[in-house]
Amino acid sequence: MRLQMRIEVGGQIQPGERRTPGVGVKEVQAAGIGNGGGALGCDVHSRNRHSPAHPTQSSLSQPILRKTQPFHVRHKASAGKLCACHYEFLWNVCMPGCLLRGKQIKPVMPSLNALRAFEAAARHRSITRAADELAVTPGAVSRQVKEVEAILGVTLLDRRTDGLHPTVAGAILAEAMGHGLAAIREGLAAVRTGRRRLSVGAYSAFAHKWLIPRWAGFADAHPDVELALTTTHNAADLRPERFDVTIFVTDKGSWPGHDLHRLLPIETTPVCAPGEVAGWPEARLLHARPRPQDWPRWLADAGIEGVDVQEGPVFESITLAAEAAAKGLGMAMGIRSLLTEELSSGRLVAPFNHVRVSRGGFVLAVPTSRVQEPAIAAFTAWALAEAGMA
């Protein structure tokens, strides 16, 4: 099958009309478009009849014709077989990418159903379980996963005897799809119920000791906003782009694409049960895995030498270390703003006057483009007021 069409930039071609070279009028003859069309060969004829039919080093150096207005495409085949192309093309180079597959225009993004099938298969590590969740056949899930892989041009799932294993690319896409589908579900729920779910990511100690005790106050003041809290001891998991609002520790004054609000300073000092005070300096030191430098920095700042900071048990969080100290197991390094209840009640005491003030602090990060959203604005104002920063 041979197809002839005329392409013009910026206006319709009148019958018999002649244009000067370089205006952008071309006659394109294309071969290879048809059932199962393979490689596409084409001859591009312009006013310059000596131009080669296929790209060469010399032809590639000729001027690039760029879009200034939408192209108007005329051709002798059915209009449904071609699309109006809005891409630039080179002189004497084969036709635009949207025609390379003949009747079928190659999709640039997999369908949502195919992406859902891939996400379910990656999460379950099984085609069968994914099919059960989506109420389709395993064959349908398998075809949709292959569709995503074909469009992206990479292998996403390794098929092994013990099940499916996401590749590096597959793991990246699966995580992104998980967050995306969760956002869709939350949006649907918000439309149905009139409630807005706000995802909050927070450092575990801050959530346990500061946020949760104040949670009821926000819920009472904003019954239309539902908080979804995620906590972690690992700072790397608190990427602000993952949440509507993120509370984490940093000494930076800015964050790309986000507004930062200082909530609480980090002031560290040793804490222990009242009966342990007399045991210093022989007291057992209690350490928190997320903050291994707290003891060395405080001791250096206080000018205290001769203390072995390598000894003593290590706890998963500063919250657990402080709780162990309250039970008489030793002396922990505490953050004063997170231990106000324990210090005021006498469960813990701070036997030293010296307090080390860190450069960093607890900050609240919100996307700059979304600061005016009602739920985000309400939470930000409430948190700043509670922290005394409003």
210-235 per-position pLDDT tens digit: 999 999 999 999 998 989 999 988 77
The whole-number pLDDT of residue 35 equals 40
Residue 29 pLDDT greater than 70, yes or no:
no
Kindly indicate the confidence band of residue 171, based on its pLDDT and cuts at 50, 70 and 90. very high
Half-sphere exposure of 44 (CA within 13 A, CB side): 19
Using one digit for the tens of pLDDT, what is the confidence trace for 297-307? 999 999 998 88
| Tokens 């300073």 found at | 265
DSSP state of 234: -
The whole-number average pLDDT for the span 72-86 is: 38
Q: Check: CB of residue 258 under 8 Å from CB of residue 250.
A: no
Q: How far apart are CA 390 and CA 385, in angstroms?
A: 5
Using one digit for the tens of pLDDT, what is the confidence trace for 286-297? 999 989 999 999
User: For the ranges 70-84, 104-118, 216-230, which has the lowest average pLDDT?
Assistant: 70-84
The whole-number pLDDT of residue 315 equals 95
CB neighbours (10 Å) of residue 57? 6
Residue 84 pLDDT greater than 70, yes or no:
no
CATH 1.10.10.10 fits 112-185, yes or no: yes
Q: How far apart are CA 207 and CA 205, in angstroms?
A: 5
Task: Output the average pLDDT for the chain.
Answer: 77
65: left (phi over 0), alpha (psi -120 to 50) or beta: beta
Q: What is the pTM of this model?
A: 0.54
The candidate with the shortest Cα–Cα distance to 181, out of 226, 128, 122, 235, is 122
In the chain, where does the domain assigned CATH 3.40.190.290 lie? Answer: 195-390
The whole-number average pLDDT for the span 316-343 is: 94
DSSP state of 210: I
**Pure H helices in the chain:** 57-60, 112-124, 127-134, 138-152, 168-193, 204-206, 212-221, 294-302, 318-326, 340-345, 374-386
The whole-number pLDDT of residue 128 equals 93
Burial of 20 (0-12, 13-18, 19+ CB in 10 A): exposed
Q: Check: CB of residue 312 under 8 Å from CB of residue 285.
A: yes
Q: Which CATH number fits domain 195-390: 1.10.8.350, 3.40.190.290, 1.10.760.10, 3.30.70.20?
A: 3.40.190.290
Q: How far apart are CA 312 and CA 320, in angstroms?
A: 14
The whole-number pLDDT of residue 19 equals 43
Kindly indicate the confidence band of residue 264, based on its pLDDT and cuts at 50, 70 and 90. very high
The whole-number pLDDT of residue 196 equals 80
Kindly indicate the confidence band of residue 179, based on its pLDDT and cuts at 50, 70 and 90. confident
Burial of 272 (0-12, 13-18, 19+ CB in 10 A): buried
Kindly indicate the confidence band of residue 54, based on its pLDDT and cuts at 50, 70 and 90. very low
More confident residue, 237 or 54: 237
Residue 31 pLDDT greater than 70, yes or no:
no
- Cα–Cα–Cα angle for 152, 157, 160, nearest 5°? 150
Q: Check: CB of residue 210 under 8 Å from CB of residue 164.
A: no
The whole-number average pLDDT for the span 69-75 is: 40
Kindly indicate the confidence band of residue 104, based on its pLDDT and cuts at 50, 70 and 90. low
Residue 208 pLDDT greater than 80, yes or no:
yes
In the chain, where does the domain assigned CATH 1.10.10.10 lie? Answer: 112-185
The whole-number average pLDDT for the span 29-34 is: 38
Using one digit for the tens of pLDDT, what is the confidence trace for 124-150? 999 999 999 999 999 999 999 999 999
Residue 115 pLDDT greater than 50, yes or no:
yes
The whole-number average pLDDT for the span 23-40 is: 39
